């Protein structure tokens, strides 16, 4: 029985939500392994549009279990609001949603602490989602963070919270930050959240490992994307967790040997939100057209996404880091409108072709993208469900991406609905899904 990771091959927003939602009928449990309420998976079911930030998409399928792993940082008000929204649309998380007792808790002062770097003169603005994600992971790494298990222990929680709030008050003063730290009021609010979340908090690593031992199948759901990974992404313009393959193991407590496949999700072009290098960014009219046709605005913050052309060197890098078995290409129908479609096939730095992705933002920004231009198909592919029904030029485009990436394309998403998907017959992905 195989367990599978689905993660973003680019800078996030690749459409993982739909892919996980589609695949999870083959699995028993969907587990989220990193990030927090900075992520936003938009899932459409018929006319319904649900944005999931912390709860794994699997919750939408009756009978499936969902796990928020230890690698996730949890902002309780956001999680509770999401649970309420789900209940309002008839989805009942009770008894199916499990939260790791080792996941770290995010507080309002984490958001305040983000003001130390974001928006301060002389500091590099990452263009974060302003949710306090980075500072929460900072506390985790500094070994002063508060975990779900601590939150449930009233006495210990009060002590830990006061100590941490004291540190943040010092920070606030030193950096003349404007947001309040919070105090007794926050403490009381969190004590109330604890009681509401208590029935769902458990040792999810043990839950997952026991389930796997009983032959249950787990789908690991990544948030953000490989290029936003704290170690392998375009540092410092990254998020603060491991969005790439390793995060699935450290963020859930499931050994790598129990994970059988890795699926990368990539748009047929590229987008990114926030600052940082973007070698294939399309300036001007092309970028604008990609944004308009692709409705490229952030699910969480509403920010317009930067848009550009498919970047094969970037995908080859992501494939190397993650060991992709298969790719799902999303939003290929957005390219229906283009007469010519450039694809970046290589990078030049100082006039010379380079094989490796530069490690510094300065060098990655200085990279010159080398393009090959393919003819567009100029006809609607929206909603096509069979590979053979695609126009010849769309097939050529996809084959070209496959060759360039060096990884098979196992599925193509041709629209936002579950059924608007092509699963490529005989692909490795098909076998992995069958288990
Ligand atoms: P943070 O995760 O809020 O600290 O933001 C760090 C960087 O990651 C910024 O460039 C954000 O725009 C980006 N980011 C965080 N979450 C997402 C996501 O879900 N999709 C796309 N970009 C994201």
Cα separation, 416 vs 215, whole angstroms: 32
- Pocket (CB within 6 angstroms of ligand 1): 12-13, 38-40, 126-129, 131, 133-134, 223-224, 228, 237, 239-240, 273-274
pLDDT tens track for 235-254 = 999 999 999 999 999 999 99
How many whole angstroms separate alpha carbon 400 and alpha carbon 423?
A: 18
The set of catalytic residues is: 13, 41
The structure's pTM equals 0.96
Name the pLDDT band for 283 (thresholds 50, 70, 90).
confident
| For the CA of 129, the nearest atom of ligand 1 | 3
Positive or negative CA dihedral for 395, 396, 399, 404? negative
In the predicted model, is pLDDT for residue 182 greater than 80? yes
Determine the atom of ligand 1 nearest the C-alpha atom of 131.
Answer: 3
Output the CA torsion sign for 279, 284, 290, 292. positive
β pairing state of 352-354 and 340-349:
antiparallel
| CA distances in angstroms from 55 to 65, 77, 119, listed in the order given | 11, 13, 30
Q: How does pLDDT run across 200-228, given as a tens digit for each residue? A: 999 999 999 999 999 999 999 999 999 99
Q: Which of 51, 106, 125, 274 to mutate to test the pocket of ligand 1 (most atoms within 8 A of CB)?
A: 274
Atom of ligand 1 nearest to the CA of 38: 16
- Average of per-residue pLDDT across 18-26: 93
| Region of poorest pLDDT, from 17-26, 115-124, 194-203, 407-416 | 115-124
Name the residue at shortest CA distance from atom 21 of ligand 1.
Answer: 12
12 C-alpha vs ligand 1 centroid, how far in Å? Answer: 8
Pocket test for ligand 1, best of 128, 141, 240 (most atoms within 8 A of CB): 128
Give residue 351 CA to ligand 1 midpoint distance, Å: 32
- Note whether 42 and 302 are within 8 A (CB): no
Q: Using pLDDT thresholds of 50, 70 and 90, give the confidence band for residue 268.
A: very high
Label residue 355 exposed, middle or buried (CB < 10 Å: 0-12, 13-18, 19+).
exposed
Over the chain, what is the mean pLDDT? 95
Gap from CA of 53 to ligand 1 centroid (Å): 12
Q: How remote is the CA of residue 38 from the centroid of ligand 1, in Å?
A: 6
Residue 196: helix, strand or coil by DSSP? Answer: helix
How many whole angstroms from 273 Cα to the centroid of ligand 1? 7
Q: Nearest C-alpha to atom 8 of ligand 1 is from which residue?
A: 239
Mean pLDDT, rounded, for 293-304: 87
Q: In the predicted model, is pLDDT for residue 192 greater than 80?
A: yes
pLDDT in tens, 330-379: 999 999 999 999 999 999 999 999 999 999 999 999 999 999 999 999 99
């Amino acid at each position: 029985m195989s367990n599978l990771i689905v993660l973003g091959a680019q800078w996030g927003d690749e459409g993982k939500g739909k892919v996980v939602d589609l695949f999870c009928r083959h699995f028993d449990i969907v587990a989220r392994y990193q990030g927090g309420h900075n992520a936003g998976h938009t899932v459409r079911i018929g006319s319904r549009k649900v944005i999931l930030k912390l709860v794994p998409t699997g919750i939408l399928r009756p009978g499936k279990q969902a796990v928020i792993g230890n690698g996730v940082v949890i902002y309780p008000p956001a999680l509770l609001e999401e649970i309420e929204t789900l209940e309002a649309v008839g989805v009942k998380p009770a008894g199916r949603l499990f939260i790791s007792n080792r996941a770290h808790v995010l507080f309002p002062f984490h958001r305040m602490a983000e003001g130390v770097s974001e928006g301060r003169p002389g500091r590099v603005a990452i263009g974060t989602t302003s949710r306090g994600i980075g500072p929460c992971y900072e506390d985790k790494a500094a070994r002063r963070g508060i975990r779900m298990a601590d939150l449930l222990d009233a006495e210990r929680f009060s002590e830990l919270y006061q100590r941490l709030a004291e540190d943040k008050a010092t920070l606030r003063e030193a950096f003349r930050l404007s947001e309040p730290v919070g105090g007794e009021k926050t403490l009381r609010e969190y004590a109330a959240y604890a009681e509401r979340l208590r029935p769902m908090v458990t040792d999810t690593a043990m839950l997952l490992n026991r389930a796997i031992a009983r032959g249950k199948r787990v789908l690991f759901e990544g948030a953000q994307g490989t290029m936003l990974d704290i170690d392998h992404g375009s540092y410092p313009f990254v998020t603060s967790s491991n969005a790439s393959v390793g995060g699935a193991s450290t963020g859930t407590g499931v050994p790598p040997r129990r994970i059988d496949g890795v699926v990368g999700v990539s748009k047929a072009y590229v987008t990114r939100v926030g600052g940082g290098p973007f070698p294939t960014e399309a300036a001007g009219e092309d970028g604008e057209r990609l944004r308009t046709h692709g409705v490229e605005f952030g699910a969480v913050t509403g920010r317009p996404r930067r848009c550009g052309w498919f970047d094969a060197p970037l995908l080859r890098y992501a494939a190397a880091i993650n060991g992709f078995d298969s790719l799902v290409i999303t939003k290929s129908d957005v390219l229906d409108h283009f007469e010519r479609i450039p694809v970046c096939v290589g990078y030049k730095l100082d006039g010379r072709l380079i094989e490796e992705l530069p490690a510094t933002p300065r060098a990655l920004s200085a990279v010159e993208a080398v393009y090959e231009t393919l003819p567009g198909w100029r006809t609607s592919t929206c909603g096509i469900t069979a590979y053979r029904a695609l126009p010849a030029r769309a097939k050529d485009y996809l084959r070209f991406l496959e060759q360039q990436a060096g990884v098979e394309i196992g599925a193509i998403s041709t629209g936002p609905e579950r059924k608007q998907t092509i699963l490529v017959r005989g692909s490795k992905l098909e076998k992995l899904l069958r288990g």
